[in-house]
Structure 1
Amino acid sequence: MLVLLLYMAFTVIMTWPIAGRLGSHVPGRNGDTWIHLWTFRWMKDALLTGHSPYFTNLLYYPTGSSLIFHNIAWVNIAAWLPLQAIFGEGTAYSLLYLAVIAFNGFATYLLLRDLTGSTLAAFFGGAVVAFWPNILSHSDRTNLILIAWIPLALLYLKRFFDHKRVQDAVFAGIFIALIGLTRWQLLVMAAPLIGLMILYQLVTDRANRTPRSLGLLALTGLLALLIMSPFLLPLLDEWFTFEEAAELLEDEQSHLTDLVAYLVPGRYHPIWGSAIAGFYNRFPTPNSVFYVGITSLLLLILGLTTRWPQTRIWLLAALLYLLLALGPELHINGAVIRLPMPYSLVAESSFIKLIKKPVRFNVLLSIPIAVIVAYGTDTLLQRFRTRWQKVALTSILVVLILFEYITIYPMFPLEAPAWYSELAQEPGEFGLLDVPMFPNSVPNKAYMHYQSVHGKPIVQGHVSRTPSEATSFISQVLLLRKVRFEKMEVLADEIVNVSEQLRQLAEANIRYIVLHKNLLPQTELAAWRQWLTHQPYYEDDELVVYRTDPQGGEPELSLVRTTITPTMALQGSTISVGANWYARSDVERDYEICLSLTDAEQQGQSMCEPLAPTWPTGRWLSNELFFTNHKIDLSPYLPKGTYELSVTLIDSGNGDVAGQPTPIGNLVYDAIPRVFTTAEPQVTTNYTWDDAISLRGYDLSYLNDGSLAIHPYWQALRRMDTSFTNFFHLIDPGSGQIVAQADVIPRGWTYPTNWWEQGEVVEDRVMLSLEEVPPGEYELYVGWYDIDTGQRVPVHSQNGDPVPDNSILLTTVER
């Protein structure tokens, strides 16, 4: 009992501040905590109501989802149920987490005491497993890190082989069953270790191969299957009858272990963690810790060199789990070493795919490492005579290992937005759509926590190995299908019929759309507000809530709201106009929208286009809301000033104007800086292209990287309607072949010729790479062409004569 109490005390220290925040926070880093808590609550409710635990409509509403392949930690749930009745759900979860860490150490201690015969060595080895850095880095997964049943199963298998007692075989079967009931993946992961130990005993000792021994060993397996069968048989039945079962097996082979990571101290250590965190970014799984520890490594070497007969089988087990954890590719310090890896031989196995991530084998790597370390510790302790000396040395070793392994524990607050508590009081069953909604992301896991608070079904969530039918409703609704992967900023133009999308949600009994301010960038939140059109049903500092059954305001087709982005613009740039519309009655005509910019002197520009090309207004029905978005390419020639932007609707069929122009806002228009005087170029010229563009001269220079810098001075002889492309060709006069070229829009593709004002001088800089040009003398030609037609612009020489091929020989270039 003292040993267990010591492990519990050390657990409180090593996992602080979990114990200090009981009831207000729970441990977790990536959100899986919320999945486990939701699952615990769901199983409690299923037991109390008699509902099947294997199906829920609280997630992926209204379709619901099967939970048959979900990670249900039956053992953890059984331990949590009485705790939550006493302490509350969140506190019970944290207490369970602390108990798992301490219990892992204690169970390993019992195995090591039996193996080594040393209480002190066993205590130290138990500490290695309890506070194994990879286990502590799994702050979200109590069902993955509860590995205590494995050393207990190994302990009673050892005792069975030593004494051939029935009770030992029975206990071994019980503990093997508990491994599976903790997590089926854990049973698969433990199978190589347990199988290797059984095989070793059968091969090395003939007495273990007697009919009685083999019969009792079979009893162990049958008992384990019998205990697991009520929980395993439904899963197997579904597996063999479910057509898409194979698709649920995911092997995330990118989650590998870098070999160097075993030697790199933990990134969450309170002293050196921040300094070493950047080093982890080169590893394929940067958020997990695989550090073995200097103290453990030294004792492991001592154990192997001094207790080889006892440690060799455990070394084999450690190497086996190490190779599995490395995965199909060998990574060393971030570099991929092209060597065939043993994992590739079993990568396509269903059992391996069930585990999903090779790095998970590191959790069980702690057990064979701890055994060898315990033997090394025992060897070291034998060099001291008195009990107090041995206790003092063990204490020093424990302090060292705790110091190496200690980590800063991440915590999640249990609190939820206040509106969810109010929602819980609203009667009836209806669903919620939480936004943002991304598949398999942390927000979806947090929404499951909020669901437990308000009790209403949610459109998404997170289920392990989600069956495809669970997302069938999401696939049917355009809004859900799109925003699951893309931003509303991008989709607003595509999803014009707001009411159609809201109607589909309302008809599916999804009453609210909940926008989470802390999860949405400001631009995305603004896009949702604009698209939804109507006023929020509720808003506070955390949430904006909209109903899916809003009521419109104005009779007839009306413009509800508009936005102009940006409201200050430069000549030649583009602005976006978003418009929210409401139709009280069915619209029988297709309309065009005309957007007009006018200043105080009635100067300006206008553009017209179909109001909603993807959903014409003739299809708009009564009480529907719509969002349309329009782009205006601003003229590069409008005078600087403030312009009023107005909207007019025109009947597409007869051209009649519907109503009066509606002012929607102002645009502050700034002028492009223009130059009308020519600098002094190195070479003066007077070539003209189509009486529109003149080359007044140019500069040439060679750069250190071997490039040729061309600095032309252009002048616009008139305004142009076309954006021409400028080319510079370096030609070999002997072969007539182009050896280098540059085709550009002036000023780095930012200042097209149809922006140039009459008389304006445009200086440019064009780089011509000569890296692959062999030494020699070449001719440099210049010209312009229309990129849409490929036709070159006619050019005249300085004498006014047409130039063949419409390209001017500027100069010769030496390479």
Structure 2
Amino acid sequence: MAETTVKRQTKTQAKVPLFITIWASIKAWLRRDGIVIMSYAIATILMSYPLAFKLGGHWLALRDTDTFVKIWDNWWLQNHAFNGPSLNFTNLQFHPSGLDLSYHSISWTVAFLSWALTIVTDAITAYNLTILVALFSTAYAAYLLVRPFVSYGAAAWLAGAIYSFAPYHLAHSGGHPDLVHLAPIPLAVLLLYAAFTRPSVPAALGAAFLIGLAGFTSLYIMVFALLTIGPVLVFLLLDEHRWSQPKIWQVVLVFGVVSVLLLSIRLVPILRDTSALTEAIESKYTADRSQTDLMSYVLPSHLNPLFAPYTKGIASRFGYMSSNWPAYLGIVPIALSIVALLWKKQRKTVLLWFSIGLIFFILSLGPVLRFNGNLYDNIVLPAQYLSWFPPIRAVGRPDFFVLGILLPVAVLAAFGFDRILIALEGSRRTQIALMIAIPGLLLVEYWSGEFPGISVNVNPFFEQLSEEPDDFAIIQLPMGRTKAKRYLYLQIFHQKPIVEGLSARTPLEAYQYIHNNPLLRNWSAGEPLDCDTLTWDRIMSALDQLIDDNFRYIVVHHPEPEIPVQFANYFPLQPFYQDSQLTVFKVADLQNQPPCQTIYKRVFALPSPEVSTSILWDQKISLLGYDLPDVDPEVKMLPITVYWQANEEIENSYVAYFHLVDLDTDEVVAQADVIPRGWSYPTSWWAKGEVVEDTIQMLMENVPPGSYELRIGWYDEETGLRLTAESDRVQPNADGSILLGVIDY
């Protein structure tokens, strides 16, 4: 009877619900690491200030324009990755050909994380949150790696702070999230240690999974992980003669096979075309000019407001890479690493991590020495002889290897700090003081000032595009890789294919369509219109192709109210849409009124304007009259149609200016400076007696209601000198302008 009762009690105890077991594990974890987790969370918020306080708005964390590409990556994966012919291809860029994304540095891990976060928030907030996750998880992962090897948790905490808050890592978190989610590396090392010391096949599987996760997070992080894991694996095999144990080789086999299988999912699409892979690698290989300046490791970061007055000038000599992404390791970590190297107790482990750090240090310096901004081509470094190795060459930029140095430095500094704390075990107060002072000093010297960001506001025109139901593509000017980053971000809102785009390694054939279309080729190069080389028939052929390939709009971006000069002559027509930032033309409208044909259509018949005038400028140009419709305040545009006449053959090109002047203050509140017909028909082309009709759209967006004088005049395009106005009805102003009329707005 008693025996039966015992059996029933045993069965009852065995049936503990799973959620209770999980909850008990969580409570045990929080009891163990709760303070560590909270302190890292606080440190993350402080070191990335004001990022955590800008969540939920239109503030985007941004140190580099690559941020726009990363947001596009997240959006594309969420909305289109499974709707196209391949995960590695998009037809939203480089329309109509599309773009191969095999060599693009998309972070699948970050994209999926962002996808999950957009369930509860918007895309910008989700992206900002991934930065906070990266900083926190990187720090905590390093802590978990180091904690079993040190006596004091404070030493392990310091390792996490070094690994995550180092200026180089912190700076890249504002522009390259695919580079800063480094947590898989220390966690893989931790599980590999567990797999070898027990030995444990499940731990080996976990380590292999993390290596695969590193590959899907970033190909760069995959390389850093392999260069870190390799020496650790050799060390664990040789240490205590583990290589002689059969079960260890089972662990090695499981780890190796599973790692290869997981990484093959990411790598097979890249390796399928070796010639394209070689082209992609070589296109981004910049080791000869992106070395890490040797001095940058010890020069305090110029991003730190405390050091900037003293170091900014020096850092500016280091070249783009070292000056924008400070490689400063810190006085505290370097000093503590030296202490660790002198510690006999942890000699083998210390030498392991010193060796790993040395590998990354050598690679980060590049093929030749750069010191204090000077390049010493005659001093060839070891990295020169390693550059043939595909994984190293694929990284492209030597300075990226600084990220690989951070974990060895963090581990060594933790050992050094642990040694000091052990030596002070007889003085608890001194220990506590150092546990507070050393991490505090580290955070102060690693501080990079306020986290950079911008307020992003999208022009309403792009949101209007998304509401147009038809499938069509758009062209955005100016073109170029840097501009394309912003255009990718705008695509999130208008969701239409675009003629250009980019990937981390954009293949040359992606530009074939642009180079084969004369108009697109000129726009891509920023070449002003020359009707002698780009004739009317070639323009019409180019426009026919654009129409056939379903391009509907040409969107010209301009920081100033007017279209950039290099594009203005291409558009001798009224825009479909215009505001202070954009001027938009329909491709079909341009096809109906193309450039380079107006010079053959001269008009000499006198017009019939609504208001006739008799105004003359320097006996060269007359204003015969104008049309001035009532202003609609909702449109925010004042259309002015004028009728000019050439009184003689004009040698120079003159610019007509239209000023809207406040009656009370005599201040110009709006203006338009134009060469007639959208900058396509300069006065030097006019024939004697020719009548030129032109319509000007004056932007009224910032003009308050009131009464204003409309004044017009001319000035020389090259010298800026104004022509003198003459009229028998109105007295010209001293500046050469003349009153056309009063506008009630």
Fold agreement, TM-score > 0.5: yes
Asked if the contact 1:514–1:543 (Cα under 8 Å) also holds between the matched residues in 2, the reply is yes
Q: 1:534 aligns with which of 540, 558, 573?
A: 573
Q: 1:8 aligns with which of 27, 32, 41?
A: 41
> Where does 1:186-201 land on structure 2 (aligned, <5 Å)?
186-201=221-236
Asked if the contact 1:489–1:523 (Cα under 8 Å) also holds between the matched residues in 2, the reply is no
Asked if the contact 1:492–1:527 (Cα under 8 Å) also holds between the matched residues in 2, the reply is no
Structure showing greater Rg: 1
Asked if the contact 1:61–1:458 (Cα under 8 Å) also holds between the matched residues in 2, the reply is yes
Structure 1 partner of 2:513: 473
CA–CA distance in 2 between the matches of 1:411 and 1:14? 14
Q: Deviations over 1:658-707 (max 9, x none)?
A: xx544799777999xxxxxxxxxxxxxxxxxxxxxxxxxxxxxxxxxxxx
Q: Deviations over 1:744-801 (max 9, x none)?
A: xxxxxxxxxxxxxxxxxxxxxxxxxxxxxxxxxxxxxxxxxxxxxxxxxxxxxxxxxx
Q: 1:121 aligns with which of 140, 144, 155?
A: 155
Structure 2 partner of 1:508: 549
State the shift of 1:364 in Å: 1.3
Q: Which secondary structure state, in structure 2, belongs to the residue aligned with residue 533 of structure 1?
A: coil
Higher relative contact order, structure no. (Cα contacts within 8 Å, ≥ 6 residues apart): 2
CA–CA distance in 1 between the matches of 2:141 and 2:197? 19
Q: 1:174 to 1:541 in 2, by over 3 A?
A: same
Q: 1:503 to 1:393 in 2, by over 3 A?
A: same
CA–CA distance in 2 between the matches of 1:35 and 1:131? 24
Q: 1:68 aligns with which of 99, 102, 107?
A: 102
State the shift of 1:387 in Å: 5.4
Structure 2 partner of 1:234: 269
Q: Deviations over 1:249-281 (max 9, x none)?
A: 131111110000011111221333355323222
Structure 1 partner of 2:144: 110
Asked if the contact 2:117–2:126 (Cα under 8 Å) also holds between the matched residues in 1, the reply is yes
More helix by proportion, 1 or 2?
2
Structure 2 partner of 1:279: 314
CA–CA distance in 2 between the matches of 1:156 and 1:143? 23
Q: 1:311 aligns with which of 350, 372, 376?
A: 350
Structure 2 partner of 1:689: none
Structure 1 partner of 2:50: 17
Q: Deviations over 1:54-77 (max 9, x none)?
A: 211111111111112222212222
Q: Which secondary structure state, in structure 2, belongs to the residue aligned with residue 228 of structure 1?
A: helix
CA–CA distance in 1 between the matches of 2:375 and 2:386? 20
CA–CA distance in 1 between the matches of 2:112 and 2:327? 30
Q: 2:432 aligned with 1:396, yes or no?
A: no
Structure 2 partner of 1:451: 491
CA–CA distance in 1 between the matches of 2:542 and 2:187? 56
Asked if the contact 1:105–1:126 (Cα under 8 Å) also holds between the matched residues in 2, the reply is yes
CA–CA distance in 2 between the matches of 1:629 and 1:556? 7
Q: 1:350 aligns with which of 390, 414, 418?
A: 390
Q: Which secondary structure state, in structure 2, belongs to the residue aligned with residue 541 of structure 1?
A: coil
Q: Alignment RMSD, CA only? A: 3.2
Gaps of 5+ in 1: 562-566, 570-595, 608-624, 633-644, 649-659, 672-815
State the shift of 1:493 in Å: 6.2
CA–CA distance in 2 between the matches of 1:97 and 1:555? 54
Q: Deviations over 1:24-73 (max 9, x none)?
A: 22222221111111111111113564763221111111111111222221
Q: 1:556 to 1:188 in 2, by over 3 A?
A: closer
Q: Structure 1: which amino acid aligns with 2:499?
A: V
Q: 1:44 to 1:523 in 2, by over 3 A?
A: closer
Gaps of 5+ in 2: 1-33, 605-615, 619-644, 653-676, 694-712, 720-745
Q: Which secondary structure state, in structure 2, belongs to the residue aligned with residue 339 of structure 1?
A: strand
Q: Structure 2: which amino acid aligns with 1:429?
A: D
Q: 1:542 to 1:216 in 2, by over 3 A?
A: same
Structure 1 partner of 2:403: 363
State the shift of 1:91 in Å: 0.9
Q: 1:414 to 1:522 in 2, by over 3 A?
A: closer
% identical equivalent positions: 27
Q: Which secondary structure state, in structure 1, belongs to the residue aligned with residue 555 of structure 2?
A: strand
Asked if the contact 2:650–2:683 (Cα under 8 Å) also holds between the matched residues in 1, the reply is no
Structure 2 partner of 1:796: none
Q: 1:246 aligns with which of 260, 267, 278?
A: 278
Q: Deviations over 1:562-597 (max 9, x none)?
A: xxxxx999xxxxxxxxxxxxxxxxxxxxxxxxxx99
CA–CA distance in 2 between the matches of 1:168 and 1:663? 81
Asked if the contact 1:647–1:663 (Cα under 8 Å) also holds between the matched residues in 2, the reply is no
CA–CA distance in 2 between the matches of 1:495 and 1:304? 69
Q: 1:332 to 1:605 in 2, by over 3 A?
A: closer
Report how many aligned residue pairs link the two structures. 589
Q: Structure 1: which amino acid aligns with 2:687?
A: V
Q: Structure 2: which amino acid aligns with 1:11?
A: T
State the shift of 1:128 in Å: 0.5
Structure 2 partner of 1:653: none
> Where does 1:133-152 land on structure 2 (aligned, <5 Å)?
133-138=167-172, 139-152=174-187
> Where does 1:151-300 land on structure 2 (aligned, <5 Å)?
151-236=186-271, 238-240=272-274, 243-250=275-282, 251-253=285-287, 254-273=289-308, 276-284=311-319, 285=321, 286-300=323-337
Which stretch shows the higher mean deviation, 5-14 or 448-457?
5-14
CA–CA distance in 1 between the matches of 2:718 and 2:49? 58
Asked if the contact 1:248–1:466 (Cα under 8 Å) also holds between the matched residues in 2, the reply is yes
Asked if the contact 2:561–2:581 (Cα under 8 Å) also holds between the matched residues in 1, the reply is no
Q: 1:626 to 1:12 in 2, by over 3 A?
A: closer
State the shift of 1:480 in Å: 1.8
Q: Structure 2: which amino acid aligns with 1:430?
A: F
Q: 1:199 to 1:512 in 2, by over 3 A?
A: same
Structure 2 partner of 1:376: 416
Structure 1 partner of 2:338: 301
Q: 2:142 aligned with 1:100, yes or no?
A: no
Q: Deviations over 1:177-203 (max 9, x none)?
A: 111111122212322221111112223
Asked if the contact 1:517–1:543 (Cα under 8 Å) also holds between the matched residues in 2, the reply is yes
Q: 1:436 aligns with which of 478, 485, 488?
A: 478
Q: 1:523 to 1:490 in 2, by over 3 A?
A: farther
CA–CA distance in 2 between the matches of 1:627 and 1:345? 56
Q: 1:96 to 1:627 in 2, by over 3 A?
A: closer
Asked if the contact 1:597–1:606 (Cα under 8 Å) also holds between the matched residues in 2, the reply is no
More strand by proportion, 1 or 2?
1
Q: Which secondary structure state, in structure 1, belongs to the residue aligned with residue 554 of structure 2?
A: strand
Asked if the contact 1:189–1:355 (Cα under 8 Å) also holds between the matched residues in 2, the reply is no
CA–CA distance in 1 between the matches of 2:718 and 2:381? 64
Asked if the contact 2:571–2:680 (Cα under 8 Å) also holds between the matched residues in 1, the reply is no
Q: 1:556 to 1:81 in 2, by over 3 A?
A: closer
CA–CA distance in 2 between the matches of 1:46 and 1:433? 21
Q: Structure 1: which amino acid aligns with 2:53?
A: G
Structure 1 partner of 2:503: 463
Asked if the contact 1:33–1:141 (Cα under 8 Å) also holds between the matched residues in 2, the reply is yes
CA–CA distance in 2 between the matches of 1:220 and 1:116? 26
State the shift of 1:501 in Å: 3.7
Hey, which bits of structure 1, 4+ residues long, moved more than 6 A? 521-524, 553-556, 596-599, 604-607, 625-632, 663-671
Q: 1:597 to 1:215 in 2, by over 3 A?
A: same
